[in-house]
C-alpha cells in the first residue's frame, strides 16, 4: 500500500450507531511466504488464494468479534515479511495489543527465525503485548519439517500460546484470533473502568467513536491521537 497515506480518524455523527464496544490492534509478523496474508483473508473474508503476492509494507483489515458479550473491533495489521520493509513495519509494533508470530511448518528457516521476530517484539512492542505462536500450513503433511511438539516447545519457551493453523483448509484460524482477543482482554484488563470520565454506560466514548478510512496505513502520532480524541486513559488507543 501507499505509505504516503495517513490515518484519518473520523468522528461518527450522533445518529450513526456504534457497532462495537472496543477496538484492539493486532499485528501479524513472520518470514515472507509463511501465509500471513492468507491467514488474514481466511479470518476476515473466509477466502483463500494459492498465489503469493508479497505484501508491500503493511496492510490491514477489520473484523468484529464477540467475546464475553462485548463486541470487539479487531484491527489486524498484516506486515511484509521481507527485510526491506522492516523500517516501515517496526513503526506498528508500538501500538499493538497482540502479536501473532507466524512460521510455516514446511520451512525450517521460518521456524528458526521466530527467535528474531520475538526479539523484535521485545524491542519494539509494549511490554505487556499478548504474543501467540502460529504454525501455519499444517495441511501440508508430506512437506512438514517442523512437528507440533517442536512448535509447542518453542511457544512454551517464550511463554506464548500456540496454534497450528491452515489458512488453506480453514483450520484453527478463527480459534486463534478469538483466543488472542480473549487473552488480551483477560491479561491486560482493558475493559474501561466504570468510574473513568470517558466511560459512558460502561463503554469508552473516545477511540471507539472513530472510523478509519479504507486507505489508512500509517500509525498515528501521539499528537494526532490526541487531536482525534483517542483516549489513553482507558488503554484503548
Ligand atoms: N498449503 C498451504 N499453503 C498456504 C497456506 N497459507 C498460505 N499458503 C500459501 O503460501 C504462500 C504465501 O502466502 P502469503 O499469505 O502471501 O504469505 P505472507 O506471509 O503474507 O508473505 P509476505 O507478504 O511476503 O510477507 C501462498 O502461495 C499461499 O497460497 C496454508 O495454510 N496451506
Which atom of ligand 1 approaches the CA of 171 most closely? 31
Cα(169) to ligand 1 centroid in Å equals 12
Is the complex ipTM more than 0.90? yes
Which atom of ligand 1 approaches the CA of 30 most closely? 19
Burial grade of 203 (CB within 10 A; 0-12, 13-18, 19 or more): buried
pLDDT of residue 43: 97
Cα(189) to ligand 1 centroid in Å equals 33
Q: Residue-wise pLDDT tens for the chain (237 aa)?
A: 444 444 344 445 544 456 788 899 999 999 999 999 999 999 999 999 888 889 888 899 999 998 878 889 999 999 999 988 989 999 999 999 999 999 999 999 999 999 999 999 999 999 999 999 999 999 999 999 999 999 999 999 999 999 999 999 999 999 999 999 999 988 766 554 444 444 555 544 434 333 333 333 344 444 433 333 334 434 333
Q: Where are the alpha helices (DSSP H) in the chain?
A: 36-45, 86-90, 108-112, 114-124, 148-158, 173-188, 222-228
Length of the chain: 237
- Set out the domains of the chain in order of their start, with CATH numbers: 22-188 (3.40.50.300)
> Ligand 1 pocket test: which of 52, 61, 137, 176 has the largest number of ligand atoms within 8 Å of its C-beta?
52
* CA gap 21, 16 in Å, rounded: 14
Cα(148) to ligand 1 centroid in Å equals 19
DSSP conformational letter for 209: G
Burial grade of 15 (CB within 10 A; 0-12, 13-18, 19 or more): exposed
Amino acid at each position: 500500500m501507499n505509505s504516503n497515506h495517513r490515518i484519518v480518524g473520523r468522528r461518527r455523527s450522533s445518529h450513526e450507531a456504534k457497532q462495537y464496544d472496543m477496538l484492539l490492534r493486532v499485528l501479524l509478523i513472520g518470514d515472507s511466504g509463511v501465509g500471513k496474508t492468507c491467514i488474514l483473508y481466511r479470518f476476515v473474508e473466509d477466502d483463500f488464494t494459492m498465489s503469493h503476492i508479497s505484501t508491500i509494507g503493511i496492510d490491514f483489515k477489520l473484523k468484529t468479534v464477540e467475546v464475553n458479550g462485548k463486541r470487539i473491533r479487531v484491527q489486524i495489521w498484516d506486515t511484509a515479511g521481507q527485510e526491506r520493509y522492516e523500517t516501515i513495519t517496526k513503526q506498528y509494533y508500538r501500538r499493538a495489543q497482540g502479536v501473532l508470530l507466524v512460521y510455516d511448518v514446511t520451512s525450517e528457516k521460518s521456524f528458526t527465525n521466530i527467535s528474531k521476530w520475538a526479539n523484535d517484539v521485545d524491542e519494539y512492542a509494549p511490554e505487556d503485548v499478548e504474543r501467540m505462536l502460529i504454525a501455519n500450513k499444517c495441511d501440508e503433511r508430506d512437506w512438514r519439517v517442523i512437528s507440533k511438539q517442536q512448535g509447542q516447545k518453542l511457544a512454551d519457551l517464550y511463554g506464548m500460546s500456540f496454534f497450528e493453523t491452515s489458512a488453506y483448509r480453514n483450520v484453527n484460524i478463527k480459534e486463534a484470533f478469538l483466543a488472542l482477543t480473549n487473552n488480551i482482554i483477560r491479561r491486560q484488563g482493558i475493559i474501561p473502568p466504570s468510574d473513568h470520565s470517558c466511560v459512558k454506560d460502561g463503554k469508552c466514548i473516545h477511540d471507539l467513536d472513530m472510523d478509519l478510512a479504507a486507505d489508512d496505513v500509517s500509525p498515528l502520532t501521539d499528537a494526532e491521537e490526541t487531536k482525534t480524541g483517542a483516549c489513553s486513559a482507558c488503554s484503548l488507543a
